[in-house]
Amino acid sequence: MFQKVLASFGQGGAKVDAQLTDRSVRPGGPLRGQVMLAGGHVDQEVEGLGVTLLARVEQTDERGEVELVDLPFQNVNLASNAVVRAGQQLTVPFEIHLPWEAPITTVLGKHLTGMAIGLQTNLNLSGSVVDPQDIDAVAVEPLPPQHRILDAISRLGFTFRTAALEKSKITGLDQQLPFFQEIRFGPNQAYTPVFNELAVTFLATSSSMQVVLDVDKHVRVSKAGGLNVQSRSFIGAFPVEYARLGATNWEQQIDGWLREVARPRAIFD
């Protein structure tokens, strides 16, 4: 009886450990692995066993302050209404498909600062006060078309700064997830007098994607008065069909848009 009480508090109870088969995955692809379920000192009823993809996103509260929250965006149920026997060792394979809009966390194996995507394994035990959990980092590499766009930006002399996920929707564009990723770059020497930052967002599907560019531009005169006290955001979106990716000079395309945005057009711009 005492062992059952301890197990309900997580001492001597069943435990879980997820092992990922894939070292890295891409948006739209499968993430495979297996959950190792180890029984404790007593038999326990399993109400649910599942895996969930979590993303650490920036969320603005009612006071306008930004906080980081772990937001679930994909989950798979693996088992329910079962019994794990004392000392039993079980292996449960799983496969969870990443959304096409899944954020990129690494490029050529290098982690993007600011990104945190994890696979959480949840074991819900009947009568347990503390349910076992296990979280493993997931490396998401860009799709080849996304890598091409990032390479073009790098070739233009822009340098990576950081990346972030914002819990919001981009107005006027088809977006499936409740958040979007910004990969942020510092401007090259030519654009430093004009821009503070360039942010890139990918809204991908199975055959195409929208590439969203957001530049933070210096404002020479603010509407409230004063010089060099404000900046203004300019957003542009480019549709990219994967099958026609090579038909466009992306360095030229992106630089042309940046040059147009950089051109002074009004007293407040």
pTM, two decimals, is: 0.86
pLDDT in tens, the chain (269 residues): 433 333 343 444 688 899 999 888 999 999 999 998 887 777 788 888 999 999 999 998 878 788 999 999 999 999 877 777 787 888 889 999 999 999 999 999 999 999 999 999 988 886 453 456 778 999 999 999 999 999 999 999 999 999 999 999 999 999 999 999 999 999 999 999 999 999 999 999 999 999 999 999 987 665 555 555 478 899 999 999 999 999 999 999 999 999 999 987 665 55
- Rounded distance between C-alpha atoms, residue 109 and residue 201, angstroms: 20
Predicted local confidence at residue 222, as pLDDT:
52
Predicted local confidence at residue 9, as pLDDT:
35
Helix (H) or strand (E) holding 127: none
Contact in structure between 50 and 33 (CB atoms under 8 Å)? no
Residue type, 195: F
- Please report the domains of the chain, with CATH numbers, ordered by start residue: 13-137 (2.60.40.640), 144-262 (no CATH)
In sequence order, which residues have a C-beta less than 8 Å from that of residue 184 and are 6 or more positions away?
Answer: 160, 161, 162, 163, 164, 197, 198, 199, 200
145 phi/psi in degrees, rounded to 5: -65, -35
Contact in structure between 63 and 141 (CB atoms under 8 Å)? no
Predicted local confidence at residue 48, as pLDDT:
84
Predicted local confidence at residue 225, as pLDDT:
52
Predicted local confidence at residue 226, as pLDDT:
53
Say how many Å lie between the first and final Cα of the chain, rounded: 74
CB atoms within 10 A of CB 66: 11
- Side-chain half-sphere exposure of 253, counting CA atoms within 13 A: 18
Q: What is the DSSP string of 213-225?
A: EEEEEEEEE-TTS
- Judging by DSSP bridges, how do beta strands 195-204 and 180-186 pair with one another? antiparallel
In sequence order, which residues have a C-beta less than 8 Å from that of residue 86 and are 6 or more positions away?
Answer: 39, 40, 41, 42, 43
